[in-house]
Amino acid sequence: MTADEAFDTAHAQAADATKVDIVVIGAGQAGLSAAYFLTRFGVAAESGFVVLDRSFGPGGAWQDRWPSLTLSTVNGVHDLPGLAFSEVVDTAAGEVPAATAVPEYYAAYEKEFGLPVHRPATVRVVCDRGDRLRVETDAEVYAARGIINATGTWERPFVPWFPGAARFTGRQLHTRDYRTADEFAGQHVLVVGGGISAVQLLDEISHVTTSTWVTRREPRWSDEPFTSERGHAAVALVEDRVRRGLPPGSVVSVTGLPLTPAVRAARERGVLERSPMFSEITETGVRWRDGTTLDVDVILWCTGFRSSLDHLAPLALRNAGGGITMTGRLATRVEKDPRIHLVGYGPSASTIGANRAGRAAARELLDHLAAEAPQQ
């Protein structure tokens, strides 16, 4: 049966939808954290809640990261509640690819706590059916009283629009498509973006070929240690945005780019001399407003991601400005519909905030469902 046939079958079997109290969508860090706390708060696996994950195996977006992103270069892998990363993975082996180590950790975590993760299960759409929310996947339909959405951002890479992009004869790819710098040998690579990924990939690429770096704004560097206090302060600023219904910003936009030893070495080599953003893409490269041009073979868009929430579109959660107004203790509850919590959105999009957000979402949603339950 094809995916489309399965989807049609799910529609036809609407009356046979599986009833559960809560559906958790996504099994990355935020989703696993929420699932862990649901079990700790007494919700039965399978009959009380399920976790739907579109991937074929554990690991969330980590399993798709480029091979050169290792435990020594990744910007932190935070422990999930109840089981430390170091209890599963040898953290001293710094050259282990993150795409191998984190899935190993997540797999052990799911097994340790008996989390009811169903995969592969792609959620196509969520609709409001009055007392329940209808969650349609490519294989099954669920009728849930509440949803904890933890789909993150990896599935929605963002590439800004520029005049002439369609006529560029070279190669364009996004951070999520990157595998190894060696594939660009002998080509000139234009790296676009001012985040941590842009800096890391620019450094790698510059060792095998020529490169140019462009950003919309002057990069802000930070040589302060990234303490938990700084992390929580940055998360608080992002949280304030979503509470006001604004589209979430990134944590790194608040903290600045860390000056690690690798970054310092790249600066000394002259790799991180940034140019301002171009205004147009030509057949062979880019052009700035002053008429200056640059021929390039590859444009690598390190321009971030957007929240993967298209399946929630029928619920009309967004306001006129495109944001979603969030409430609750840690800004995980959707103001328009308290049956829905978003973790991995806004302040919990980073691993710094995912665990606490998972706990808050689980507790608040259970309290709401208990208050809304029919009186006997």
* Bond prior to 97 in cis (omega within 30° of 0): no
Domains of the chain: 3-155+305-372 (3.50.50.60), 165-220+256-301 (3.50.50.60)
Model confidence at 13: pLDDT above 60: no
pLDDT, average across residues 321-349: 92
pLDDT, average across residues 102-131: 96
**Position 12 confidence tier, pLDDT thresholds 50, 70, 90:** very low
pLDDT score for 351: 67
The string of DSSP codes covering 150-196 is ---STT-B-----TTGGG--SEEEEGGG---GGGGTTS-EEEE--SH
* Residues 146-180 pLDDT 10s: 999 999 888 899 999 999 999 999 999 999 999 99
CB 166 within 8 A of CB 159: no
Alpha helices in 13-95 (DSSP H): 29-40
Distance CA 120, CA 118 (A): 6
Residue written as token pair 């799910």: 10
Residue written as token pair 């409001």: 128
pLDDT score for 206: 95
Q: Does 221 or 51 have the greater pLDDT score?
A: 51
The residue length of the chain stands at 376
Report the predicted TM-score, pTM, of the whole model to 2 decimal places.
Answer: 0.85
pLDDT score for 226: 62
19 class by beta-carbon count within 10 Å (0-12 exposed, 13-18 middle, 19+ buried): exposed
**Position 346 confidence tier, pLDDT thresholds 50, 70, 90:** confident
pLDDT score for 70: 80
**Position 5 confidence tier, pLDDT thresholds 50, 70, 90:** low
Residue 26 C-beta-side C-alpha neighbours within 13 Å: 30
Pairing of strands 340-342, 221-222: unpaired
pLDDT score for 315: 97
Alpha-carbon dihedral angle through residues 52, 178, 347, 276, given to the nearest 10 degrees: -150
Distance CA 162, CA 264 (A): 32
CB 199 within 8 A of CB 193: no
The candidate with the shortest Cα–Cα distance to 112, out of 76, 147, 148, 85, is 85
Query: Which DSSP state fits 245?
Result: T
Q: What is the mean pLDDT of the chain?
A: 89
Distance CA 122, CA 340 (A): 18
The string of DSSP codes covering 320-364 is TTS---EETTTT-EETT-TTEEESSSGGGSSHHHHHHHHHHHHHH
Flag the least confident range among 73-77, 167-171, 294-298, 331-335. Answer: 73-77
**Position 137 confidence tier, pLDDT thresholds 50, 70, 90:** very high
Please give the structure tokens belonging to residue 74. Answer: 């990744």
Residue type, 132: R
**Position 2 confidence tier, pLDDT thresholds 50, 70, 90:** low
CA distances from 40 to 48, 82, 363 (A): 12, 10, 10
pLDDT score for 92: 76
DSSP bridge pairs for 50: 23
pLDDT, average across residues 84-88: 90
* Residues 222-279 pLDDT 10s: 887 666 676 677 778 888 889 999 988 766 666 778 888 888 999 999 999 999 999 9
Q: Does 114 or 250 have the greater pLDDT score?
A: 114
